[in-house]
Amino acid sequence: MSGNLEWILPALASPIVYTMVTIGDKRVLSILKLNLGSFYLFVGSIQLLISLIILAVLGWQSAPFSSIAASYGSGFLWGFGLMLMFFVLQREEVSRVTPVWQSSPVFVALLAVLFLDESLAWHGWLAVFLVVSGAVAVSVNLDRGGLDAFRVRPTFFMLITGAVVIGVAQLLLKVGSDDLDVWHNMAFRGAGLFTFMAAPWMRPPYPARLLAWLRTPSNAVSLVLTEGVGPFLGNMFLLAAIAVGPVSLVSALFGTRPIWVLGMTLLLGLVAKQFISERIAGRDLALKAVATSAVVAGVVIISVG
């Protein structure tokens, strides 16, 4: 049992940390009101900084151009997907955003069937059904009356697009890993992410707005913890779990993040209502719980099966 704990504990710690990151992002964008372009600039620049540190310490890895291009392209698409997610996160409840966003492993499986000649067993198709139905259900707003309650928001389609884009990015990252080690794959991915996500915002007035916003100490602490320390710890726990545990089971535990997000937002709604302003109405909460459970079940089936 102690051997299992070596990977189970960090595999659980990673989605819990990323839950804090997601909630922190929501607070930064919706409550603390950081300009979205300045936020993109900060997030992408952090990724570039990490890439430069990796290359400075380890040097340039000799690898085929196709592998480097695949890794860079993965980051480029990842930046696009993240921008869509953050755009929606600024406007929607975090417990609605996370289940749809977390559906990307299912799209990876579908893309692998289409382009990598992999097959999908019956339980794989069950997972697809669970994820899609859960993602649609979590978009339902019971506060609206009649058929309006079941009208799918435009932001839902943005999230689904983002999840599909992340799925393609993950496939490209896998292609890059054939010739690149983990750290250089991360470095070239970070450079691509910076190119799409941050480079367009390196023009006035976004750097000045970011610096002005960071002059408030509480703002600076929130952003550094959310997009600096948090992702580093989350990735560290994930890599530690993968290093000693079965990757399919580690991925399954990582896919439980929507459950943690729902639980944390419920707790904050009870003890700190203004932290992210999440609704916890009875019917709405029950629907979120069922829809989130369906998405998590589908992701776990895909990861394990």
Which residues neighbour 258 within 8 Å (Cβ) at sequence distance 6 or greater?
95, 98, 99, 102, 292, 295, 296
Alpha carbon distance 240, 218 (integer Å)? 31
What SS3 string covers 5-63? HHHHHHHHHHHHHHHHHHHHHHHHHHHCCCCHHHHHHHHHHHHHHHHHHHHHHHCCCCC
pLDDT at 77: 96
φ, ψ of residue 137 to 5 degrees: the values are -65, -35
pLDDT at 83: 96
pLDDT at 1: 45
pLDDT at 148: 52
Using a 10 angstrom Cβ sphere, with 0-12 exposed, 13-18 middle and 19 or more buried, the burial of residue 144 is: exposed
Q: Are residues 179 and 67 in contact, defined by beta-carbon separation less than 8 angstroms?
A: yes
Single pTM value for the model = 0.86
Query: Per-residue pLDDT tens for 117-127?
Result: 777 787 888 88
**Tokens encoding 189:** 């991915």
User: Which regions of the chain are under pLDDT 50?
Assistant: 1-2, 147
The count of domains in the chain is 1
The DSSP symbol for 153 reads P
| CA pseudo-torsion sign 98, 99, 100, 106 | positive
Structural domain boundaries enclosing 249: 2-304
pLDDT at 219: 96
Which residue reads 């990735």 in tokens?
235
Q: Are residues 261 and 94 in contact, defined by beta-carbon separation less than 8 angstroms?
A: yes
Which residue reads 């302003």 in tokens?
277
pLDDT at 52: 96
Q: Are residues 170 and 59 in contact, defined by beta-carbon separation less than 8 angstroms?
A: no
pLDDT at 246: 78
